[in-house]
Structure 1
Amino acid sequence: MSEVKRPQRTCIGCRQVADQSSLLRWVLTRDDDGQSAVPDPFRRMSGRGAWMHPRPECAAEIIRKRAFSRAFRAPVRVPAEEEISAAIDAFTTRDRGDSTVQPESGSEI
């Protein structure tokens, strides 16, 4: 029997490919201070997404490499380490059986 293929994404910190469901999505938002990266744990916000493993090592690499600016192809206000840690904690403690997480558009196939 054939194996079910799941959508794959690349972590912008460690550059490893993983199942989309195991990665935290970030999106670009505009505000008075310019553009910022904000977490999108339920994958409902529109726009280009950047993906990361919910691990402190990947968060440190993202900050060190300025990976959000590269991923969004624009200057981005980098979230503070505390903001990233809070997003990681929220993502890892959310109910995995939550049916409100919607697949990224185009990945329903």
Structure 2
Amino acid sequence: MSGRTQDRACPERTCVGCRERAAKSDLLRIVEVEGACVPDHRGTLPGRGAYLHPASVCLDLAVRRRAFPRAFRVQGPLETADIRYHVERQTL
């Protein structure tokens, strides 16, 4: 045997807010579109992606740490209203 298991390994990503690793399926992919952070529900939007737990705590940490501009390699602040709306709607 080659040492591989029959189960496929689940890809992991790091949340830009809390910096904890989690399964890719548990995180929300975010992309930058024209100076705004936009949730990518299907994971098909082009460009660099950042991953975030769909929780307001992680979103607040990411904004406070300026994680989105760093993740997308852009200068200046990014608009996060779309993400905040999505996260708050998910927690209801």
Both proteins in one fold, TM over 0.5: yes
Aligned match of 2:85: 86
Q: Secondary structure at the match of 1:50?
A: strand
Shift in Å at residue 84 of structure 1?
2.5
- 5 Å matches for 1:1-109? 2=5, 3-30=7-34, 35-75=35-75, 76-80=77-81, 83-89=82-88
Tell me if structure 2 keeps the 8 A contact 1:11–1:18: yes
Instruction: Output the CA distance in 1 between the equivalents of 2:43 and 2:88.
Output: 16
- Relative distance call for 1:26 and 1:10 in structure 2 (3 A) is same
- State the AA in 1 paired with 2:33: T
Percent identity of equivalent pairs: 39
Q: What is the CA distance between 1:37 and its match in structure 2?
A: 1.3
Q: Deviations over 1:44-103 (max 9, x none)?
A: 2011100000111101101111110011111242313xx33321255678xxxxxxxxxx
What RMSD in Å do the two structures reach over aligned CA positions? 2.1
Point out where structure 1 has 5 or more consecutive residues left out of the alignment: 94-109
Question: TM-score, with normalisation over the residues of structure 1?
Answer: 0.69
| Cα distance in 2 for residues equivalent to 1:9 and 1:50 | 9
Following the alignment from structure 1 to structure 2, what is the Cα–Cα distance between the partners of residues 44 and 59?
21
